Structure 1
Amino acid sequence: MRDLKRLLHPAHLWDLFVTSDPALGRLRQGMRAVVSAGLAALLLSRLARWLGEPPTVTLVGTMVAMMGSQLATDPSPRAQRMTTLLMLLPATASIVLGTLASRIPLLGAAAFAVTIFLATFARRFGPRGLALGMIGFFAFFNALFFHAQLAQLPALAGATVVGIGLAYTVRFGLIRDRARLDLQRFLRTFRKTVAIVLWNLTDLPERPRMTRSLLRRLGREQDRLNDSALAVEELLTRCQPALRLRIFDLELAVSRVLGAVQQVVESDALVPDARREIRQALAAARTFVREGDPAARRLMQEHIEHVRNSVSGMPEDAPGRADARRLSNSISDLVEAAAQLPHKAPRLAPGQAAAATAGTRPPEQPAEKGLHPATRQAIQVTVASVLAMVVGHAVSADRWYWAVITTFVIFTRTRTLGDTLQRAWARVLGTLLGVIAGLLLAGLVVGHRTVELAGVFVCIFFGFYLIQLSYAWMVFWFTTLISILYSLLGLFSPGLLYLRIEETLIGAGLGVLIAIILLPEGTTVHIHATARQVLSAVCDYLEEAVVNRSKESDPARLIDAARTLDARLRDLRTAARPLNGRLVRFAPRTARTVHAVSELVLFVRHLALGKGVPEVNEAAREWIRQAGVRLASNARALERALERKEAPLLEPAMPLLEKARQSLAGEETVRRGPASPPILLHWLARVDDTLNLIARTASAFRGRALPQRT
């Protein structure tokens, strides 16, 4: 009952709602689609009636406007504007080609296959290539879907121009991005995310043991925190190192609290009264982070003092005393870091605003060996689409293109076989649920034109609003949209929706089959390639934060290295997503490698940008530097071993860390906080242990014994 009340707490539910759409980006995405489609439908329907053109012209222009407002995802606003304008070329060409080629079935199929290949091949040119390829494909599809006629070509070309113009106006005029507002919202969301993490931790200290489900929950909270921090980071520029450092400090402080709470549960050394005080301290800290209430901070300190008093009678080296000290220090550090984070975003100069909107560019990918992924996918999707045309046409001579569009989209924004399987399943599931909803809704709204029109725009909004959360939800809403649209056009029948299910199953099945047998890229291969990139980022971070760290080190450079590491880890989690759940049993060693690499990143980030390195005496600093060199070398050796599929050979860093620990003197041995030398050495030791764990996992995966370390 307590857990239910905790989860349904109004403030917690509100925080979850706010953080689900941090800068209202998904809301803007849905609104842009609705406004673009609405303006296009209103304007083009009047022009079509005035010129005596059929509804096909209005529908094609409306679809172009809706899609055109969404597809530009370039890093900078200027590039997004250029991409949106350039969409006019492939959209017009595809509509003309689709209309001309559809007159001759065999020629139309060949033209569609060529369009599919080019649209997929264009992805190799980055976000702009993806956008232009997608608009070209959907424009060709619209010509088929709405049965465009040759006599309508001038009007269709004009509707395309109007649609792109409206998409540009809505995207960059009516509902545009505002860098400073987005930054303010992301800062607010980051605070609320920290509050959510703390609220979800409040029940843990009183748990009797740390179960596997609780460990997964801690992992999810760490991922939630990291994703929120990265979202803020992507809007910040190198001109704001102070704010970036405060965000990093708060994120790291929360990570230390997560580890301290886990240790309290695992050791089971604190009495129940102390654990209740910890729960109250976490709740008070959450209130302070969320609202900045000084009274909450004082209350937190009182509860922490009670925790310390509860272990005052224990020996100095007792586990309970160490747990209480670690927990109280970590919560105090968190509250202090939260107090340093401003509630309002700094004012951005015009140049900074443009840079903030552009975001942080993703790190460059290493050169591909063999076929480029876009070329490989272009071959796969073209072959699968041709087969879908044949089989889909055998089922329905009029609606075969539903199978083709399914084949095309399940290869969109995917890389591996596992990704394609997931997307195919989402497409099928969304279609099935959408058909059920369409059958129910169509019976309710048929004959009510105003309700049908409203239903169309509701489906458009939720389709684009939810696409970032789940592709299945987007398919659900657009399948429902098709049902209402057919009802609006007087063409609705249950058999038509059943046919859509059949064609979707054909397209998804053929797409998966081709992904398996033609130029497949295994999920585990991609995961190991991404893991190598993480290890490379770990090496770079160790060199920046430990080997070359000094009082003169550039904070922006250090944070850049940390955020590159975070971005690589996010790539690894994305690559490993197809192995979640029951699919783990098919690649258990790969799953263990992912877990170990994720832990490695967590331990490396606890080095706190190497703040403790310049704070120690010269002898200890030299031993720490040598240990950092060895750890970075071990990370690089692991990276090479994974690439060459050979057993890695690592050198232990523990002897160097022991010498550094023995070299500490005076208050260096008891200093607390992020710059504490003992804590720095502790996390370096954890990094050393985890690198060796990854080496053992990799060696077992390769079927070889791990060489002896020297």
Structure 2
Amino acid sequence: MFSGFQARDCLLANDPALSRLRMALRVTLTIVFSFLILLAIHMFILPLPTAAFGLGIVLSIEGGVAVRDKGNSRQLVTRLFGCVASLAVVGIAAGLEDRRLLSDLVFLVVIALASAGRVFGPRGFAIGMFAFTSYFMGAYFRPPLAELPEVAIGPVVAVLVGHLVRAVLLPDDWRRDLLRSLESVRGRINQILFKLAAIAGGGEIGEADRQELRQLEDRLKEVVLMAETFIPRPPAGVFDAAADPAAELAIRLFDAHLAAESAIVLSFQSPPPFALVHAVIEADAAELARFEGMADAIRDQPQGETVRALLWLGEARQQLTQVIAEGQDSGFSEIDAIKDTAQSQAIDFSLANPLLRSALQITIASAIAMSFGLLLSRERWFWAVLASFLVFTNTNSRGDTAMRALSRSLGTVFGIAIGLVLATLMSGEPAIAIPVAAVCIFLAFYFLQVSYATMTFFISIVLCLVYGMTGVLTLDLLKLRIGETMIGAAAGTAVAFIVFPTRTRGALDSALARWFQALRDLLGALGEGKSGFELMALSQKIDACYRDVTVAARPLGSSWSVVTRPGQIRQTLAIFLSCTYWARILAKNYDVPAAADILNRLIAADLALIDNAAPRGSSCFLIKRKASRTTGRHLPLSREGARLGLEMIGSALERLYPQADVLPFATGEAIARSKQG
């Protein structure tokens, strides 16, 4: 049975910094409090139209999800601008109610302006979402002009309540988030150790075990990247180790990440002893000291490498635990607050800007969805437009858009199926239906960042419960809801493939270009004699670029894709992951070298391999590969870590194009020389 600390570690391991939990609570509490306030006004002060409740609920959602400014004052300004935009478009929708064709055309103008507003950054995005959803609700509920003062109460209440919930009840606190993210790092390291213990108990490692460890490694990388964003950095991005208290924290996080990666890499070669993994988990000093002596005795054997990797991970984990304990005691009070050094950039209003191309795509998709939606229903076509608008959110290629459209359609179908059953069972029981709806709202936004289909599933259940409580739930209505959603999803997908299409491979090519350039920058810095935090920062940039590569490659390896098989995608990503890992090893171990000539030749060889591979872009993902062979030794000794890191980076780059005849000898020759030396 889990203790409270174990349950918290488990939660943090799956929700770094509890960010998903906090967002879901913010949205749910804002909706509940706004609804209760509007209900009290309706019952005790003056009757409110349905549109006021509808706007209050949807703007409560947008206030919790779309407002992403840093700082309470900026968030309040954005909410107030959003409220003004909401009232303006609702007034326009009400004024044009008798001219439905003109109203529909104005809706498209609002969609175009709302989506184009994203070029202005987070504030433009939020105001655009407020305007779009408000016009949607205004055209849907059709409030008379005479009721606009009462309707305006809904947006005003939602904006004020949303700000109070975020600023007072559940405020942002980077020190708290930093501490929780560090705890999440420890939790994911623990998951890796538990898996290694299971492997050690079995005595051998299978392909399923390798795949699970790679997934755990990716999840660790994800939360480490999040934790790094909470560590305050100087404007140049490079710490002063002597003067900046945050530097020590950055080193501890870097070491813990690298040690965990090394333990995984070495375990592929030789599974660790079960007693050692258990000693690391329990922080058993006596047992760890015994294994330190054993590691010296078998240092040249694969098992010795694995033992040393686990000992390193145990030490790094204890240091991370110490940092967490100090943070719990002091709240990182010695670290200066994060300073916003972001500078405003010139806005590109040309079609070369992908945000403006996306705005045009969204507008065209909405027009198509509106046309076909009107053929299906004059009263309910708004669902089609909503679906076509939302399938473009957070997508960077036509493959991404197709996946999101499919997720929305599947979530809607299954959510309505379950919602119909629940609404039927709870008919006439609002005391049960309302709490269930609140729970579903919470779950929808808790899973928003994980699974769009899951979010849509729970939202569809909520709509069914609302229909049931208002007495308009019918099977025909639900069929219409599914049909309109599929029209919108299909329109969005079609436009993504036809109008300014961003091919999945095109997006992947761009991500790979950034990754190769980041690796070039690191190798170039080595050639210039840089070391320490400068190299760490460059290796962390490679890490972030690798994450972008995995996101861009996701549609290419999805189960519906006819481009290639997911196995090939995983194999190629494993090569990039290996290279990223060795870049971190290189950054950690590189210092003013004694054998500069050898290292300079290795750097030149690796740069030549990059120049050969980078122009080929994503074609490396289409190559059928044999099972990767085990490389010799992985964990570098401090005296030769830089040389080995350069050799392994070259080896990984050569594996991208195993049939390449350009510079196939460079790294191999260097490795042979290093072995002789």
TM-score (norm 1): 0.82
User: Aligned ranges for residues 532-681 of structure 1 at < 5 Å?
Assistant: 532-544=513-525, 546-549=526-529, 553=531, 555=533, 557-583=534-560, 586-587=563-564, 593-607=572-586, 609-614=587-592, 616-617=593-594, 620-632=595-607, 634-635=609-610, 638-640=613-615, 642=617, 676-681=638-643
Contact 1:403/1:503 (<8 A) preserved: yes
Deviation at 1:633, TM superposition (A): 5.5
The corresponding residue for 2:92 is 97
Contact 2:407/2:452 (<8 A) preserved: yes
Count of aligned pairs: 635
212-221 or 136-145: bigger deviation: 212-221
The corresponding residue for 1:157 is 152
The corresponding residue for 1:25 is 19
The corresponding residue for 1:324 is 303
SS at match of 2:650: helix
The corresponding residue for 1:650 is none
Deviation at 1:370, TM superposition (A): 5.7
Amino acid at match of 2:414: L
The corresponding residue for 2:46 is 51
> Structure 1 pair 415/436, CA: closer, same or farther in 2 (3 Å)?
same
Contact 2:12/2:180 (<8 A) preserved: no
465-474 or 279-288: bigger deviation: 279-288
630-639 or 158-167: bigger deviation: 630-639
Residues of 2 paired with 1:594 and 1:644: CA distance?
Answer: 13
Contact 1:466/1:474 (<8 A) preserved: yes
Contact 1:57/1:152 (<8 A) preserved: no
Residue from 233, 239, 255 that aligns with 1:249? 255
Cα deviations by residue, 1:475-494 (Å, 9 ceiling, x for unpaired) = 11111111111222222222
User: Aligned ranges for residues 121-132 of structure 1 at < 5 Å?
Assistant: 121-132=116-127
The corresponding residue for 1:420 is 401
Cα deviations by residue, 1:64-84 (Å, 9 ceiling, x for unpaired) = 233213211235555434323
Deviation at 1:216, TM superposition (A): 2.2
Residue from 313, 337, 360 that aligns with 1:353? 337
Amino acid at match of 1:63: V
The corresponding residue for 1:651 is none
Residues of 1 paired with 2:38 and 2:442: CA distance?
Answer: 20
Deviation at 1:580, TM superposition (A): 2.9
Amino acid at match of 1:298: A
408-417 or 458-467: bigger deviation: 458-467
The corresponding residue for 1:483 is 464
Residue from 265, 277, 286 that aligns with 1:298? 286
Amino acid at match of 2:287: L
> Structure 1 pair 584/282, CA: closer, same or farther in 2 (3 Å)?
farther
User: Aligned ranges for residues 111-260 of structure 1 at < 5 Å?
Assistant: 111-205=106-200, 211-238=206-233, 239=244, 240-260=246-266
Q: Tell me, yes or no, if structure 1 residue 691 matches structure 2 residue 672.
A: no
Amino acid at match of 2:285: R
Deviation at 1:127, TM superposition (A): 2.3
Residues of 1 paired with 2:335 and 2:120: CA distance?
Answer: 27
Residue from 409, 414, 426 that aligns with 1:445? 426
Contact 2:85/2:131 (<8 A) preserved: yes
Cα deviations by residue, 1:406-447 (Å, 9 ceiling, x for unpaired) = 111111111111101110111011111110121111112221
The corresponding residue for 1:652 is none
Residues of 2 paired with 1:448 and 1:260: CA distance?
Answer: 59
Amino acid at match of 1:386: A
> Structure 1 pair 77/549, CA: closer, same or farther in 2 (3 Å)?
farther
468-477 or 366-375: bigger deviation: 366-375
Contact 1:193/1:224 (<8 A) preserved: yes
Cα deviations by residue, 1:524-577 (Å, 9 ceiling, x for unpaired) = 111111011011111122233x32345xx452x333222211111111111111
Amino acid at match of 1:297: A
> Structure 1 pair 224/636, CA: closer, same or farther in 2 (3 Å)?
same
Deviation at 1:302, TM superposition (A): 3.8
Deviation at 1:518, TM superposition (A): 2.1
Amino acid at match of 1:562: S
> Structure 1 pair 594/262, CA: closer, same or farther in 2 (3 Å)?
closer
Amino acid at match of 2:596: R
Compute the RMSD of aligned alpha carbons. Answer: 3.4
> Structure 1 pair 429/264, CA: closer, same or farther in 2 (3 Å)?
same
Residues of 1 paired with 2:402 and 2:647: CA distance?
Answer: 40
Residues of 2 paired with 1:211 and 1:673: CA distance?
Answer: 21
323-332 or 10-19: bigger deviation: 10-19
> Structure 1 pair 306/225, CA: closer, same or farther in 2 (3 Å)?
same
Residues of 2 paired with 1:477 and 1:495: CA distance?
Answer: 20
Cα deviations by residue, 1:637-684 (Å, 9 ceiling, x for unpaired) = 643554999xxxxxxxxxxxxxxxxxxxxxxxx9x9866233332221
The corresponding residue for 2:628 is none
SS at match of 2:392: coil
Amino acid at match of 1:106: L
Deviation at 1:253, TM superposition (A): 0.9
Contact 1:72/1:80 (<8 A) preserved: yes
Deviation at 1:262, TM superposition (A): 0.4
Contact 1:179/1:235 (<8 A) preserved: yes
449-458 or 427-436: bigger deviation: 449-458
Deviation at 1:707, TM superposition (A): 7.2
> Structure 1 pair 31/149, CA: closer, same or farther in 2 (3 Å)?
same
Q: Tell me, yes or no, if structure 1 residue 339 matches structure 2 residue 345.
A: no
The corresponding residue for 1:649 is none
> Structure 1 pair 27/475, CA: closer, same or farther in 2 (3 Å)?
same
Deviation at 1:221, TM superposition (A): 1.8
> Structure 1 pair 103/298, CA: closer, same or farther in 2 (3 Å)?
farther
SS at match of 2:433: helix
Contact 1:613/1:624 (<8 A) preserved: no
Residue from 404, 412, 423 that aligns with 1:431? 412
The corresponding residue for 1:454 is 435
Deviation at 1:610, TM superposition (A): 4.4
Structure 1 unaligned blocks of 5 or more: 266-274, 289-295, 646-669, 700-704
Contact 2:610/2:653 (<8 A) preserved: yes
Residue from 78, 82, 101 that aligns with 1:83? 78
> Structure 1 pair 195/417, CA: closer, same or farther in 2 (3 Å)?
same
> Structure 1 pair 243/365, CA: closer, same or farther in 2 (3 Å)?
farther
Residues of 2 paired with 1:187 and 1:603: CA distance?
Answer: 23
> Structure 1 pair 633/236, CA: closer, same or farther in 2 (3 Å)?
farther
The corresponding residue for 1:499 is 480
> Structure 1 pair 280/78, CA: closer, same or farther in 2 (3 Å)?
farther
Contact 1:695/1:706 (<8 A) preserved: no
Residues of 2 paired with 1:78 and 1:565: CA distance?
Answer: 34
Amino acid at match of 2:598: W
Contact 2:49/2:151 (<8 A) preserved: no
Residues of 1 paired with 2:638 and 2:264: CA distance?
Answer: 19
Structure 2 unaligned blocks of 5 or more: 234-243, 621-632, 667-677
Amino acid at match of 1:580: G
> Structure 1 pair 231/631, CA: closer, same or farther in 2 (3 Å)?
same
